């Protein structure tokens, strides 16, 4: 079974329940960020991980084309060492909705 097939059958909730880490790498800039699935679920629907990868853009090149998403099963030495990007807060954008009426 290849990697992309696996990701299509594995969702954010599956990864959260398995205690996994989502590893997102831009192979153009060689930048990797790691996320906890439970953080991503705070503002995303529970999607399969192959679909999730399309939502990521690289902060440096602004491109999503070189993004590769993987799951990582943390092991002993990861705890206390592995860099993780944690969700600090979710900002809600205020969007005006107009309705035409009369005075």
- Residues making contact with Zn ion (CB under 5 A): 26, 28-29, 58, 60-61
User: In this complex, which beta carbon is closest to Zn ion, that of residue 13 or of residue 63?
Assistant: 63
Closest to 24 (Cα-Cα) out of 44, 42, 49: 49
> Which residue intervals of the chain are DSSP H helices?
3-8, 12-17, 37-40, 49-52
- Nearest approach, Cβ of residue 25 and Zn ion (Å): 9
How many C-beta atoms surround the C-beta of residue 67 within 10 A?
Answer: 19
- Nearest approach, Cβ of residue 34 and Zn ion (Å): 16
- Nearest approach, Cβ of residue 96 and Zn ion (Å): 34
User: In this complex, which beta carbon is closest to Zn ion, that of residue 45 or of residue 59?
Assistant: 59
3-state secondary structure of 6: helix
């Amino acid at each position: 079974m290849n990697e992309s097939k696996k990701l299509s059958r594995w969702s954010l909730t599956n990864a959260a329940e398995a205690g996994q880490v989502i590893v997102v790498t831009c192979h153009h800039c060689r930048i990797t960020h790691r996320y906890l699935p439970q953080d991503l679920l705070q503002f995303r629907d529970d999607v399969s991980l192959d679909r999730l990868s399309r939502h990521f853009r690289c902060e440096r090149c602004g491109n999503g084309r070189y993004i590769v998403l993987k799951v990582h099963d943390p092991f002993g030495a990861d705890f206390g060492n592995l860099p993780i990007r944690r969700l600090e807060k979710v900002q809600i954008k205020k969007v005006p909705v107009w309705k035409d009426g009369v005075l």
